[in-house]
């Protein structure tokens, strides 16, 4: 019998087919009648605005949620997942943005943790088994290394090996490059191609459209809980085209950063050390944005915690608006002072079970109080104006924080903090996990705010840093590796190595 030619054979059966998947949380339809195929040998990018239903859909596929309607087919057979363990047993695994690893154990111990019979193996046999798996898939790792000593990119490879050891055929990644250096991102995408060359399927959620153009084979776009378009990468010409398909209008993906003359100094840090910081010095002036970039876990968090008043400086000096740290934070002013936009917008920045008005009052209450009395009526009027001005949806001041999408919650936090007329703005990962439309709005707000304030922007997104910043400071292991103007092309070209601890002319950290 003659073999079928490539031009006439039927498309390969999908590894996974989602049919009519729907999921409600109260009156909110997170997913509505979703149909989607996941094919072997393909990288599928899952795109959509915040609140479009991407994470919910992948939570259903990975066994964390059960759908209200519809079914999942694996290899053409119906599957009903009551847990992540059942999904993994069916060959579907997920690598979360926040890695689920035991930092004190070795790579091999993490990969084999919880596997039947693993505790009977000697450390040498465990390491040999994991080394063979790593070599097979081109995921370079020392199986004897402690996870605590690994870079973020290496930890991500451990998570991938965990799924491969469990025979996963579909690997799902949620914002996989958020904590990686450019070099580690390139290595991850090489791993994607290696996986798909072996008939694995990769699904990844991202808001970085340049990544989709680089590595995806197929693109699925969600809007308001529905898949509105599924298309091959070859039909997408530019990131702007993708953005338009996502939000239904043109998104520029760039900002007009008019130069401003730097004003008076609002922040100075000299020789700050301790708690993950090593001799950090920097300064910030009104009228500028200073972007602090680096892979997560290299001192950005302890730096922000000191500047925001959450932790005292151990060694060194911090001056805020000309005042020493202890004096500034003895009784900080609610207005005309410093505001903090935390990375954790649903935990630290807001209270999920409180309504929009009460969340605005978290940092502005003194502006609506006379002695023990709170003018709640005036607060509600101001909040209505703020949600209108900052385009926060829903417009209902009585809505609870958890009911807002990530982008709308972030815009609410910005509305609240900018209402305080700050002179120092600490913006920590302000667009992480936001869609392109929400990102564009946040960028515009930060650029506008720098007219009356100095902005310290902590971000792992190099494009964001270069779009917004007047100067860039690169951090590695608690040190400022270099600080330079964002317009210095030669310096900008060396950001990647600096984030890995390598200065120009050096071969390693």
pLDDT of residue 332: 87
The verdict on pTM exceeding 0.95 is: no
**Contacts of residue 377, Cβ cutoff 8 Å, sequence gap at least 6:** none
Q: What is the pLDDT of residue 49?
A: 78
Domain coordinates of the chain in residue numbers? 16-247, 265-499
CATH topology of domain 265-499: Rossmann fold (3.40.50)
pLDDT of residue 1: 40
Which of 210, 204, 214, 196 is CA-nearest to residue 175?
A: 204
pLDDT value at residue 507:
55
Q: Do the first three CATH levels of 16-247 and 265-499 match, i.e. the same topology?
A: yes
Distance CA 479, CA 398 (A): 44
Task: Look at residue 8 in the predicted model and tell me its pLDDT.
Answer: 42
Which pairs with CB-CB distance under 8 Å and at least 24 residues apart come from 357-360?
357/383, 357/397, 357/398, 359/401, 359/412, 359/416, 360/386, 360/412, 360/415, 360/416, 360/419
Chain centre distance of CA 315: 31
Place of tokens 């310290």: 456
| Confidence at residue 184, expressed as pLDDT on a 0 to 100 scale | 83
* H helices present in 419-494, as ranges: 436-449, 462-468, 489-493
- Yes or no: say if 46 and 97 are a contact pair by the CB < 8 Å rule: no
Question: Among candidates 438, 309, 483, 489, which has minimal Cα distance to 446?
Answer: 438
Distance separating alpha carbons of residues 286 and 263, to the nearest angstrom: 5
Residue 328: the pLDDT is 96
The label of the residue with tokens 């001005």 reads 389
DSSP string covering 163-195: HHHTT-SEEEEESTTTT--HHHHHHHHHHHHHH
Q: Span 16-247: which CATH code?
A: 3.40.50.300
Tell me which residues of the chain have a pLDDT lower than 50. 1-10, 509
């Amino acid at each position: 019998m003659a073999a079928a030619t490539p031009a006439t054979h039927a498309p390969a059966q999908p590894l996974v087919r989602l049919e009519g998947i729907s999921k409600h949380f109260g009156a909110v339809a997170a997913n509505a009648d979703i149909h989607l195929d996941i094919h072997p040998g393909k990288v599928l990018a899952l795109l959509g605005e915040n609140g479009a239903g991407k994470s919910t859909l992948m939570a259903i596929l990975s066994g964390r949620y059960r759908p209200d309607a519809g079914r999942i087919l694996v290899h053409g057979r119906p599957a009903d997942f009551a847990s992540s363990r059942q999904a993994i047993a069916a060959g579907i695994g997920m690598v979360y943005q926040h890695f689920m690893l035991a930092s004190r154990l070795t790579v091999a111990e993490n990969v084999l943790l919880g596997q039947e019979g693993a505790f009977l193996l000697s450390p040498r046999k465990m390491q040999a088994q994991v080394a063979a798996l790593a070599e097979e898939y081109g995921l370079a790792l020392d199986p004897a290394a402690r996870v605590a000593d690994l870079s973020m990119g290496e930890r991500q490879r451990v998570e991938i090996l965990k799924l491969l050891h469990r025979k996963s055929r579909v690997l799902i990644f949620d914002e996989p490059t958020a904590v990686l250096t450019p070099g580690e991102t390139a290595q991850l995408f090489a791993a994607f191609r290696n996986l798909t060359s072996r008939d694995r399927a990769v699904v990844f959620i991202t808001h970085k459209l340049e990544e989709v153009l680089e590595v995806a084979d197929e693109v699925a776009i969600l809007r308001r809980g529905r898949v509105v378009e599924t298309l091959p990468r070859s039909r997408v010409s530019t990131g702007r085209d993708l953005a338009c398909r996502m939000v239904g209008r043109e998104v520029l993906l760039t900002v007009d950063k008019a130069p401003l003359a730097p004003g008076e100094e609002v922040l100075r840090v000299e020789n700050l050390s301790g708690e993950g910081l090593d001799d950090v010095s920097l300064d910030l002036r009104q009228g500028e944005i200073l972007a602090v970039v680096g892979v997560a876990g290299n001192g950005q968090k302890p730096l922000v915690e000191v500047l925001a008043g959450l932790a005292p400086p151990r060694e060194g000096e911090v001056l805020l608006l000309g005042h020493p740290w202890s004096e500034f934070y003895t009784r900080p002013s609610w207005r005309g002072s410093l505001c903090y936009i935390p990375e954790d917008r649903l935990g630290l920045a807001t209270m999920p079970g409180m309504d929009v008005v009460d969340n605005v009052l978290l940092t502005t209450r003194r502006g609506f109080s006379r002695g023990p009395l709170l003018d709640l009526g005036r607060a509600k009027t101001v909040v209505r104006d703020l949600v209108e001005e900052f385009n926060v949806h829903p417009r209902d001041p009585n809505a609870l924080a958890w009911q807002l999408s990530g982008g709308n919650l972030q815009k609410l936090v910005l509305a609240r903090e900018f209402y305080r007329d700050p002179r120092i703005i600490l913006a920590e990962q302000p667009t992480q996990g936001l869609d392109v439309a929400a990102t564009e709005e946040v960028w515009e707000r930060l650029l506008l705010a720098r007219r009356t304030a100095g902005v310290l922007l902590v971000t792992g997104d190099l494009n964001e840093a270069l779009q917004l910043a007047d100067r860039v400071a690169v951090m590695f292991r608690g040190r400022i590796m270099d600080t330079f103007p964002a317009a210095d092309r030669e310096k900008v070209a060396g950001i990647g190595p600096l984030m890995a601890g390598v200065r120009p002319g050096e071969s390693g950290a």
